[in-house]
Amino acid sequence: MRQINCEIIAVGTELLLGQIANTNAKWLSEQLAVYGINTFYHTVVGDNLFRVEEVFRQAQQRSDVIIVSGGLGPTDDDLTREAFQQLTNFELVEDKESMDKIEDFFVKQNLEMTPNNRRQARVFANAEVLQNRVGMAPGMRVIFDDKIWFFLPGVPREMKQLALDGVFPYLVSQLDAQVTIQSMVLKFIGIGESELEHKLQDLIRGQNNPTIAPLAQKEGVVIRLTAKEQTADQARALLEDTKEKILEKVGQYFYGLDNQTLEERLYLKLKSQNKRLAAAESLTGGMFTEKLVSIIGASDVCLGGIVCYDTSVKRNVLKIPAEIIDNQGVVSEECALAMAKNVSEILNSDIGISFTGVAGPTTIDGHPVGTVYISIYQKDGKQLTEKFVFQGDRFAVRRRSMLKGYELLLNFLNS
């Protein structure tokens, strides 16, 4: 079985400056993996002829396939062709079909074409030209000293069209037998990366195929499983088997697969139980509700929320009793429970959730920054109130409070 090792090079100073993200490399790697093609290097180089040529020379020595995106435009800083020509001495010629298309574009737009636009139609004389159906500059496939080079525009939609039409089909044809790499992402909340890794250490130490990679993210911890097999079904079977072994150990923290989000998970759980939710948010200021209503169909499960940031709103809108505010304070277990219960009654929901606490920068009633109470109240009387002390700046405390609310509510609905 022939294995193809690939390298992806993105050309453009704007990528180095952080003005745009290198999403082309991410997408190309994901697609190549489906065909069992390893991507060993990602390189970004600015619009400098010498440096682009040096990167090309290095890629020629270490990779079987090199995919280059960017630097094919009409301006003087589009130097991809020139750099490759320096490396190979290949002749550049004008591709008539591409040039006709460029000229036709300017005629239809009733615009005068500047001479530099002819640069976009230049291709190497020995190249297989890949026609650009959604833009101007064509792509190319070139063989140099037994290495396969693809040159694609940097515009994502143009790059994707050319890759799907001309890159992937050709590479698959070069494989003696197709190998598929499949990935699965397991998402967890309520457990840290180190604890998760500790609980799974036997599986992680014995990993081979699939590989198991824990990774902390903004909304909990994820485990990426990656399996390599000759068919997608075989790879998927390996993933499913490993997933079940992982969930046997840490399934209580699991909330979703692949692209599923916390809010999607909560939406589905509420909908399956035919329950509707209302929120009373003090320090979170609407973050919890905003996240939930981003889901299409959220009105089926979310009646709304009350942002009760000031104490007067807690008194006059949420009708929190004066004795609770005066005696226990707004940052208290009693106030949090009253907020959850009252918002549920005011908005006539099945469940109410509340957030109250100290986001900072100063203390409130002697409570240190990061002190947070979250309460959940169900109209049948089932209730939960918990206290937390979160670390971080003001935004981090608010965000962690919101995420903890999702975690508590999912567990509440599962119990």
What are the pLDDT digits (tens) for 261-313?
Answer: 999 999 999 999 999 999 999 999 999 999 999 999 999 999 999 999 999 99
Both tokens of residue 393? Answer: 């700046």
Lowest mean pLDDT of 92-101, 139-148, 272-281, name the range.
Answer: 92-101
Q: Residue 146: what pLDDT?
A: 93
Q: Hey, where are the domains in the chain? A: 5-173, 180-257, 262-414
Average pLDDT over residues 240-261: 94
Among 30-44, 71-85, 132-146, 370-384, the range with the most confident prediction by mean pLDDT is: 370-384
In terms of Cβ atoms closer than 10 Å to its own Cβ (0-12, 13-18, 19+), residue 384 is: middle
User: What average pLDDT does this structure show over 169-196?
Assistant: 83
Q: What average pLDDT does the segment 214-239 reach?
A: 86
Of 2-11, 251-260, 355-364, give the lowest mean pLDDT range.
2-11
State the burial class of residue 264 (Cβ atoms within 10 Å of its Cβ: 0-12, 13-18, 19+).
middle
pLDDT of residue 237: 95
For the cut 60, the answer to whether the pLDDT of residue 140 exceeds it is: yes
Q: What is the predicted pLDDT for the residue at 1? A: 43
Domain 180-257 carries which CATH code? Answer: 3.30.70.2860
CA dist 302 and 299 (Å) reads 5
For the stretch 162-169, contacts whose Cβ atoms lie closer than 8 Å and that sit 24 or more positions apart, written own/partner, are 162/130, 162/132, 163/28, 163/31, 163/67, 165/130, 165/133, 166/128, 166/130, 166/139, 166/141, 167/67, 167/130, 167/139, 167/141, 168/31, 168/32, 168/35
Domain 5-173 has CATH 3.40.980.10: yes
pLDDT, the chain, mean: 92
User: What is the architecture, at CATH level 2, of domain 262-414?
Assistant: Alpha-Beta Complex (3.90)
